[in-house]
Each structure stands twice: as C-alpha cells, then as structure tokens.
Amino acid sequence: MTKDIASQQNNPQATTGRSDWLLAWRFARREVRGSVRRFRVFLMALLLGVAAIGTVGSVAEAMRDGIANNARVLLGGDIELRSRHTAPEMAVREAAARYGTLSNTVQMRAMLQTNDDRKLVELKAVDQNWPLVGAAELDETTGGNLSLETALADNGMVADAQLLRMMGLSPGDTARLGEATVRVSAALLYEPDRSVSFISFGPRVLISAETLVATGLAQPGAFITYKSRLLLDDITSAKQAVETLETVTADTNVRVRDVDDAAPGFEEFIDRAEVFLVLVGLTALLIGGLGVAGAVRAWLASRMPVIATLKCLGAPARLIFRVYLLQVMLIASLGVCLGVILAAVAPALALDILGAYITVPLTLSVYPVPLAIAASFGLVTSFLFALWPVAKAEEVRAAHLFRSLVEMPQGRPRTIYLVMTGAALGALALLAFLATRNLALTVSFIGGSIAALVLLAGLGELLMRVMRQVPSPRYVPARLALSAITRPGSPVRAVIIAFGLGLSVLVAVALSQANLSRQIDMRVAEEAPAWFFIDIQPQQIDEFLKIATATQGVTEITQTPMLRGRVTAIGGRPASDFDPQNGAAWVLRGDRALTWAGAPPAGADVIAGDWWPADYQGTPLVSMSQEEALELGVWIGDSVAFNVLGRKFEATITNIRDVEWESFSLNFVFILSPGMLEAAPHSWMATTHVSDDLAADRVEIRVTDRFSNVSAISVREAVATAQRIIGLLGSAVQLTALITLVAGIAVLAGTVASTEAQRLADSVILKVLGATRISIMIAWFFEYALLGVLTAFAATLIGSLASWALITQFLQADFVFYGKLVLTTSFAGAGATALLGLAGATRTLGRKPAPLLREA
C-alpha cells in the first residue's frame, strides 16, 4: 500500500522556519470559514457600534454640508447685516448697496387676531427685493398662481398653512395684526431663508414692509430683529465688502455675517450633539469590546487542540499569534464593513426622522471621513480586546495534546503584547480626539470609562464575596446555581461590568427624565405665570398694570423694563478672548437682555456686595449673576463693557446675585443701576399669575385687545415645547442606552460561550448521575436569574447614584427616587439577562452524554 515517496522529495526547497504573514494568512483563511458562525454576536456588537458612530458622523456631515451648500439661501444673500431694536443706519445700508443688491427684512413676534381667536406668530416683513436667493413657494390650491409681490400688496399676508387651518382662515379672509387689518392671500409652503433651528415660538406670517408700517408694531424698544441681506454684483469682492462693512459698523449694534457663518448656532448644536452621540457610540463599542474579548477567548478555547497540533507540527509561537489575530481581524473587518455600509446609507433614513424636527437641508452623499473614523474605532477596539486572548494562545503547550488536557493559559501575556496594548489604547484615544476635537472631553471620557469600569468591577467583586458567605441551599439546583456563580472564573464580574453599565445608563435616564418632568410640572403648577407679555411700550405700562390688576383671577403681576445690548469686554478682557467652550460663553456671544432697577427686584438673592441706593445716579454699576461671574472669572470690583444700540459704556460689578435660572421668573445676568438705560429705546416685559384657565384667557384677551402691539407668550405652550424637547433628548439617550445594552448582550453571549465546554461537561456528568434535563435547566435558570438580580442590583445602585448626582448637583433640584420605575427598568433588563443567558446555555442541553463520554 505504501509507496516510496523519498524519490519524489529530491528538491524540497525547504527553508528555515517561515512564520511570515503570508503563511499565517494562508492558514487563517482556511480556518476562518468555520469560525464566522461563532462570532455572530460579536459581529452584531461591532456592527452596531461602528454603525452608531458612523451614522452620527455622517448625519452631522450631511447637515454641515447641507448648510454649506445652501449657505447663500440660508443667509438670504452673500452678506447679512443684522441688528436688534433699531434698523442699521442709512450710511451702513448705503455702504452695503455699493456692492450689490440689498434686501431689508424686519422680524418680530406679534399677535394675529380674528374675531374669536388670537395666536402668537413670528412676523416677517419683507421689501420688494426679498428673497435675493431662492424663491418663496405659495400653495397654489389656496393662492392660485399669485406672485409674492401680488400676494403681499394692499395689506396682503401669507402664512403657514397650519396656522391658517387652526384659525379657520382662507384666502380672502381678514385678520388683525397690530392696528392694521390684513388679508390672507395664500398659504406659505417654503421660505428660503427661514433660520435653521429646533424651536420656534410661533408659525410664520409674511407681510410687506408697507403693511408693517400700517400695523404700528415697530415701536421703539420692541424686540425687533432687522436684517439687511446683500447679494454681491461681483462675488470676488466678498472679502473686501465684509471688511468695509465691519469697519462701517464697528461702533454700532449691527453684526456682519457672511456665508461661512450661515447657521452659527445650529452648527454649534450639531457639533455638540455629534460629540455626545459619538461618545455614547464609543461606550457601546467599548462594552462590545468586552464581548469581543469573551467571544475570542471562548473561540480560542475551542481552537486549543488545533493550536497545540500546529505547534506539534513545528509552528513557532509568533505564527500562532499571527494566524489567530488575522482571523479575528478578518471577522472584525466583516462587522466593520457592514457597520460602515449601514452608516453610509443612514443619512437617507435620518432625513425622514429629522425632517419632522428641523429644517436643515441634508446633502445626501457618502462621507468618507466619519466612516473611516468609525471603521478605525471598530478595528482598533477589536484589536485591543482580542490582543490578550490571542497573545495567550501562542503559549498553548503542545505537550498537552498527549493528555487531552488542552486549556487556555492564564496570566499576563509577554511584554511585547503589553506594549501593543498600550499602543492600541493610545490609538483609541487619538481617534476619540479626532472624533470629538476636544482634548478635555477625550481625557474626561477615558478617565470616566476607566472609573466606571473600576466601580463596576469593584461592585462585582463585592457581590461575589457576599454571595460566597451565603450558606449552601439544600435544594440541589439552587446549590448548583450558587456554586456556579461563586466559583473561580465565574462570569459575574464580566456580566455586571458590561450588562450592568448599559442597564445603569437606562436606569439613570429613566429616573432623571422622571425627575425633570416632575420639576417642570411642579414649577408650572406652583410658580409659573400664565403669560409673558412682551413689547409693552413705556407709555403703555401703567395702563397695562391697571388692566391686568383689574382682571378677575389675576393673582400676581411682575414687570420689568428691558432692552438688549452686547457685552464687549468683561474683567478687562475683550469678549472675543474668551474660550467659546466656557460654560458662560453664551453671555458674551450675542445680544443680552438688560434691565435696570433702583431697588433690588423682589426675590433677588444678593450673596455678595451691596445693592446701590434706590435713588443712585452716579457712574454705572451692575449686579451680576453668580454662576456666570464664576465661569467668566470676574467678581465685585471688576468692570463690564456694554454696547447698547451703538452706545458704549462701562459698569462696575457691585454685587452678585444667586439666580435660579430654571424658575419661571424674569431673570437677568446683568441688572444695571438707574440713570444709564432709561433714555434708550426700550420696552417692558410682564408676567401674570392667574388662579385658573378662565382668568388666563381673560387677561390675554383684555391686554391684546387693548394693545395690539403687545404679544402674549403662553407659558403652557412654552412648557409643552420644553417637555417635547426633553422627551426627544430622552428618547435619543434611551436609544443610545439601548445600543449599549445590545453590546452588553454580546458580552453575555461571549460569557455563555466561554463556559459552554464546562457546562457541557457538567450536564453530561449530571445526566449520568440521573439528573433530568428539566432539573438541569432549573439549576441554570437559578444561576442566570441570580446573575440577573445581581446585575439589576448593581444597575439600580449606580443608575440611581448617577441620576441623583445629575439632578441635585448639576441641576441643583430636589431628587425623588421612583422605586417602582427603577425596579421595573432594572428587573426588566435583569429578566432579559436571565432569559438570554438561559437560552444560550440550554443549547448544550440537547447533547446526548454517550458520544461525549466516549470522546473524553
């Protein structure tokens, strides 16, 4: 039977041992086909993590691209001049007009009234040049083929279709706007330069500049935004035009913007949301990484005989490392590719979802940078978490093959692999920095992740020790379960770390959301006024107070004068010198609401310094809010430079107030001493508390009937908007928490897989000893139920602690522990842990003992 093969081996071309990557690749390719099945959950965790990070980045890029591509449309031209309260001076407009065509618009809030209804609207008055870029779209079914010019002529107005429906208005109907009667021409379908934002205080109403004059709404001091848009004749003159206009407007209240800054607030929102969501995605990926480690360890445990055989046949250690690392990375690449594909198509899906909340145009395209970052995160995480198990695989002793005692080596891997681990961690930190572009945040995230892991690991260890003290139950399945939980190498720590983290986030979110909603509802019930009345003219305030006071059911009225101004320097430092990431940078960013008072306003909590005398008439003094003063590094004695409607002055901080921003009172960062602002055009703002809904309706009707220029903002509607946003944010966070939970499931699956061999051996022996499948299953159910309870306990503790810290320390509000909510959330998650674990474990139960005993 045996032939002599010696003669055919005369030219073996044997070289010395070859462990190059090519050979490793050849071996890896042969083996990997059968391994993909074992990595399904690992693939799922990786896919989700990469898809989450890539989707967030792609959607953010799509938004930024959308803004950049539509910058001229969003800005309404090439350059915008914007001012509050007063229109840009004629000299400024003339300077602008030299570079091209100018269009002027005026925006403000106003009350649109019919005989039996009134609504707060966002009013926009436009000239005949508007819009310079793009075109407004009118609903042809309601407005026929009207041109905008015709639609707005002769006190015509166009408005959001929903507003018209709600007020029962059709083309040809009339309504009152200020002192004018306006005629509805058509519904407005699209407004090219509508600003991009999540919130609006009312639906849009568009009228002509001439109609605005007729309404009499543009009163001095009213909260009006004037915008002049410039469409350049020669686009190459943009830079020069901006420079000229900045020079001309240097000492005025006019701000100049160009297309590079088309939606500044929203772009900042995109940046922040992206950073937050990327970090959540990264958390999911890191938790999934624990699953990767578990799955790789379990998979390698099953490959130990093959590894030992390869070593027996002469494979050097580093070849083993390369063969198995290549396989893991090959499988990881598959998960990463699927995740990247999902992330690449996500902006198209997001279009529908986000379209309901924002008006930002999304540019559908494939964005390689965020996808590359997401893919790198996936690959580096896989490498990081697979490294140790794979490095230990090369230490498998071939000698064990002779004794059928092949097992995973324990302990730390060789130094070279520790160095590689450090390098992978560094790469991950670098990627986190690239994704967030924020060093402090990256460091905080990494520090926070390590701290959370240490906390959970410590809790896991503590629970293990406590469980070891529990006396062994008499009931055998319960005894088996307890011993499985407390034995060396038990999965308790891994499951508590990974599953517990996801569950903790969910508990913290649910509890915080419940507390926030309670806070708002409570404050609305106890403290909130029914209405904010704005744009009350100084000559109207006394009559306003008379009307409000005389209205039955009005229990409290507060009023304050208000105008807007800019802070140009604080504590001697120009506003532009402050870090935009500063917690109080918003104070310096745009126009701020300012007021003045002789005596301290009711409820003012002065915590440092003294209030000025009520009849003070000296150099300007200012009272500042504590939180913002601390953030900006100023205190009593420091100066604040203001620019109010082009007039510059400095005031000295004389006292510091503790301001409760989350209350519904009229709060200001700065309150000036009398004598400085009274002469400037200003308006009054007032709040009214009422005893019931009827009183609320009464005071609104009386005030707006008497003063057509005064707008009433319903606190109830504002609260509903706030609740909607809290709900939206809560849903986003819950969704991301769910992603971390799915990653936790990967860990659980990895843990179940890693104990499969042990479980199989146990079940075989138990069956031989006469245990039925039901009794073994009951034992395993107890084990996973116990694991679930321990995880729920850890999640309840950490989630509640995190929520308590957020509510009491960060939001400085009262914390209420909703036991039922927390326990429901925790134990639903724990139940899932138990069922998933049991489902995974029972797969081994169907195996018959005889063949396995023969193998042994």
The total of other beta-carbon atoms located within 10 Å of residue 548's CB is 21
Residue 31 found at the interface with other proteins (CB under 8 A): yes
Residue 757 found at the interface with other proteins (CB under 8 A): no
State the Cα–Cα distance between residues 373 and 50, nearest whole angstrom. 9
Nearest to other proteins of 13, 236 (CB atom): 13
In this chain, which of 134, 220, 316, 675 binds other proteins, going by CB under 8 A? 316
Nearest to 436 by CA among 585, 277, 284: 277
Q: Which stretch binds other proteins (CB under 8 A): 3-11, 120-128, 662-670, 833-841?
A: 3-11
Nearest to other proteins of 304, 379 (CB atom): 304
Nearest to other proteins of 62, 326 (CB atom): 326
Q: How far, CA to CA in Å, does 442 sit from each of 52, 54, 281, 509?
A: 18, 18, 14, 22
Q: Residue ranges of the alpha helices (H) in 71-156?
A: 71-75, 90-97, 140-143, 148-152
- Quick note: the x/- pattern for other proteins over 383-402, rule CB under 8 A, is --------------xxx-xx
Residue 820 found at the interface with other proteins (CB under 8 A): no
Q: How far, CA to CA in Å, does 390 sit from each of 294, 325, 336, 419?
A: 11, 6, 20, 15
Nearest to other proteins of 12, 489 (CB atom): 12
Nearest to other proteins of 24, 169 (CB atom): 24
Q: Which stretch binds other proteins (CB under 8 A): 216-224, 307-315, 424-432, 511-519?
A: 307-315
- Quick note: the x/- pattern for other proteins over 196-235, rule CB under 8 A, is ----------------------------------------
Q: Which stretch binds other proteins (CB under 8 A): 308-316, 580-588, 766-774, 787-795?
A: 308-316
Q: What's the closest the beta carbon of residue 750 comes to other proteins, in angstroms? A: 21
- DSSP-assigned states of every residue in 506-565: HHHHHHHHHHHHHHHHHHHHHT--SEEEEEE-GGGHHHHHHHHHHSTTEEEEEEEEEEEE
Nearest to other proteins of 26, 98 (CB atom): 26
Q: What's the closest the beta carbon of residue 779 comes to other proteins, in angstroms? A: 28
DSSP 337: H
Nearest to other proteins of 305, 473 (CB atom): 305
Nearest to other proteins of 327, 595 (CB atom): 327
Query: What number of CA atoms fall less than 13 Å from residue 62's CA on the CB side?
Result: 25
Are 53 and 374 contacting, i.e. CB atoms less than 8 angstroms apart? yes
H or E element that contains 672? strand 670-672
Q: How many residues bind other proteins (CB under 8 A)?
A: 44
Q: How far, CA to CA in Å, does 702 sit from each of 73, 712, 831?
A: 41, 11, 58
Q: What's the closest the beta carbon of residue 33 comes to other proteins, in angstroms? A: 7
Residue 488 found at the interface with other proteins (CB under 8 A): no
Sign of the four-CA dihedral 271, 384, 838, 339: positive
Q: What's the closest the beta carbon of residue 495 comes to other proteins, in angstroms? A: 30
Nearest to 584 by CA among 629, 644, 622: 629
Q: What's the closest the beta carbon of residue 391 comes to other proteins, in angstroms? A: 15
- DSSP-assigned states of every residue in 760-773: HHHHHHHHHTT--H
Nearest to other proteins of 305, 637 (CB atom): 305
Residue 403 found at the interface with other proteins (CB under 8 A): yes
**777: helix, coil or strand?**
helix
Nearest to other proteins of 23, 821 (CB atom): 23
- Quick note: the x/- pattern for other proteins over 9-28, rule CB under 8 A, is x-xxxxxxxx----x--xx-
Backbone dihedral angles phi then psi of residue 145, each to the nearest 5 degrees: -105, 45
Residue 411 found at the interface with other proteins (CB under 8 A): no
Residue 37 found at the interface with other proteins (CB under 8 A): no
Sign of the four-CA dihedral 623, 627, 633, 636: positive
Q: What's the closest the beta carbon of residue 319 comes to other proteins, in angstroms? A: 8
List beta partners, residue 125: 106, 207
Residue 115 found at the interface with other proteins (CB under 8 A): no
DSSP 411: S
In this chain, which of 135, 166, 250, 312 binds other proteins, going by CB under 8 A? 312
- Terminal C-alpha separation, the chain: 32
State the Cα–Cα distance between residues 528 and 523, nearest whole angstrom. 6
In this chain, which of 6, 90, 353, 607 binds other proteins, going by CB under 8 A? 6
In this chain, which of 72, 297, 311, 767 binds other proteins, going by CB under 8 A? 311
- For residue 131, say if its preceding peptide bond is cis, omega within 30 degrees of 0: yes
Q: What's the closest the beta carbon of residue 855 comes to other proteins, in angstroms? A: 8
Nearest to other proteins of 404, 576 (CB atom): 404
Contact positions vs other proteins (CB under 8 A): 1-6, 8-9, 11-18, 23, 26-27, 30-31, 33-35, 305-306, 308-317, 319, 397-399, 401-404
